[in-house]
Amino acid sequence: MANILVTGGAGYIGSHMTYALVDRGHSVTVVDNLSTGVRGLVAPQAEFVEGDIGDETLVRPLLRHRNIEAVIHFAGSVVVPDSVEQPLRYYNNNTMKSLTLIDACVQEGVGKFIFSSTAAVYGMGEDHPACESDEKSPINPYGRSKLMTEWILEDAAKAYDFRYVALRYFNVAGADPQGRTGQSTPRATHLIKKACQVALQRAPELEIFGGDFPTRDGTGIRDYIHVSDLIECHLLALDHLIKGGEPKVLNCGYGQGFSVREVVEAVSRQIGRPLPVRIAPRRAGDPAQLIANPSRIRSELGWRPAHADLSDIVASAYAWEQRQNA
Ligand code: UD1
């Protein structure tokens, strides 16, 4: 069993990761500055440290004194339109703080690193489904901030005793099947979360951001992946690094896209009545479609998703949201 540092472990995906690691008997330290994370979502078996990954004086002693073997790095800002309005905040939070963290790992001899990258590195998603080797031309500061971090990792791995897996997430949704954690970020922007909130009448209607994209029904298309399947990608990546595997960059998605309207239909089926919607202007920085080609992670890590079904994802997100309501 390994000593693992999870950054952003009080956040949506990081809290699922922490549960998965402690469930498998790993010893987990979570660092989170609680800017968007929720303390109550951190698995009770994990050690929680409130602090910032950009603070070298916090991170280096943590890595050293806790004999950290691997770092799984989730901490960062994730909202595409916010990154257009506040690019410098995104470059600071996502790129500069990651650089500080990676440097601390190199200095302290922590040579296994898993990074939360994004489908946003592909830009317009014109070549779709997107392969890892496709051209990277992000169209928003969020995607650029993550792509720069991928480059830092690539160069660090060439120069030092440091290996990493960068996982390019497509649209993560759903919640822990045991109901221990889920998407709880205040003012969440995710489509499926917001649709579930409308379904529970916590908002009057869902805005569809753009009805004139060049897609089959005019609304944006995304590849929605269940958070449990995404966590499995990380567990496989961790095993790969522990066994001495080489650096890798891998897509995490199912290879199947759904439009906003198709998601709305799935939520309507879940609640047995039509979800109220309204067409609103496009959001800044939104590409028309992003769909993964997941063959590399399937062949190289043997990933076999267990929840590749939109109704399953919606049901799990809805169950979590109902619990939040209660
Ligand atoms: C999400 C992730 C981002 C990741 C990207 C990969 C979040 C907050 N962002 O961004 O980190 O890199 O997937 O593809 O998880 N929409 C509406 N109405 C709404 C909300 C969204 O119409 O109320 C539309 C959007 O315009 C978009 C789609 O739904 O077409 C998905 O949006 P969203 O869930 O916000 O995720 P992304 O912006 O794709």
Q: Up-side HSE of residue 201: CA atoms within 13 Å toward CB?
A: 2
pLDDT for position 193: 96
Cα 79 to middle of ligand 1, angstroms: 8
pLDDT for position 188: 81
- Residue 212, classed as helix, strand or coil, is coil
Q: How far apart are CA 24 and CA 20, in angstroms?
A: 6
Nearest CA to ligand 1 atom 32: 191
Nearest CA to ligand 1 atom 27: 220
Q: How far apart are CA 159 and CA 244, in angstroms?
A: 17
Helical (H) or strand (E) element with 173: strand 171-173
Read off φ and ψ for residue 70, nearest 5 degrees: -145, 145
Distances (CA, A) of 287 to 52, 119, 213, 243: 31, 11, 9, 37
Kindly give the number of the ligand 1 atom that is closest to the alpha carbon of 260: 29
**Average per-residue pLDDT for the chain:** 96
Contact residues of ligand 1, CB 6 A cut-off: 78-80, 118-120, 169-171, 189-191, 194, 206-209, 220, 222, 260, 283, 286, 290
Cα 204 to middle of ligand 1, angstroms: 20
Cα 246 to middle of ligand 1, angstroms: 31
Nearest CA to ligand 1 atom 22: 208
Kindly give the number of the ligand 1 atom that is closest to the alpha carbon of 223: 14
pLDDT for position 169: 98
CB 14 within 8 A of CB 58: no
pLDDT for position 326: 72
Cα 258 to middle of ligand 1, angstroms: 12
Q: Would you state the CATH architecture of domain 191-222+255-325?
A: Alpha-Beta Complex (3.90)
pLDDT for position 64: 98
Nearest CA to ligand 1 atom 30: 220
pLDDT for position 103: 98
Tell me the per-residue pLDDT of 163-200, one tens digit each, with 9 for 90 and over: 999 999 999 999 999 999 999 987 889 999 999 999 99
For the chain, list residues with pLDDT below 50: none
CB 72 within 8 A of CB 5: yes
Read off φ and ψ for residue 3, nearest 5 degrees: -90, 120
Looking at the chain, the domain(s) classified CATH 3.90.25.10 span 191-222+255-325
Q: For the whole model, what pTM was predicted?
A: 0.97
Burial grade of 299 (CB within 10 A; 0-12, 13-18, 19 or more): exposed
pLDDT for position 124: 76
CATH class of 3-173+223-252: alpha beta
Query: Among all residues, which ones are annotated catalytic?
Result: 142
Burial grade of 44 (CB within 10 A; 0-12, 13-18, 19 or more): exposed
Q: How far apart are CA 84 and CA 33, in angstroms?
A: 23
Kindly give the number of the ligand 1 atom that is closest to the alpha carbon of 189: 35
**Interior angle at CA 169, CA 166 and CA 283, nearest 5:** 130
Q: How far apart are CA 153 and CA 165, in angstroms?
A: 9
pLDDT for position 196: 97
Q: How far apart are CA 243 and CA 156, in angstroms?
A: 20
Read off φ and ψ for residue 29, nearest 5 degrees: -110, 130
Cα 190 to middle of ligand 1, angstroms: 5
pLDDT for position 76: 98
Nearest CA to ligand 1 atom 35: 190
Kindly give the number of the ligand 1 atom that is closest to the alpha carbon of 220: 30
Looking at the chain, the domain(s) classified CATH 3.40.50.720 span 3-173+223-252
Distances (CA, A) of 213 to 172, 195, 265: 22, 20, 18
Q: Helices 191-199 and 310-325 sit at what angle, rounded to 10 degrees?
A: 60
Helical (H) or strand (E) element with 169: strand 163-169
pLDDT for position 322: 94
pLDDT for position 51: 98
Residues facing residue 42 across a β-bridge: none
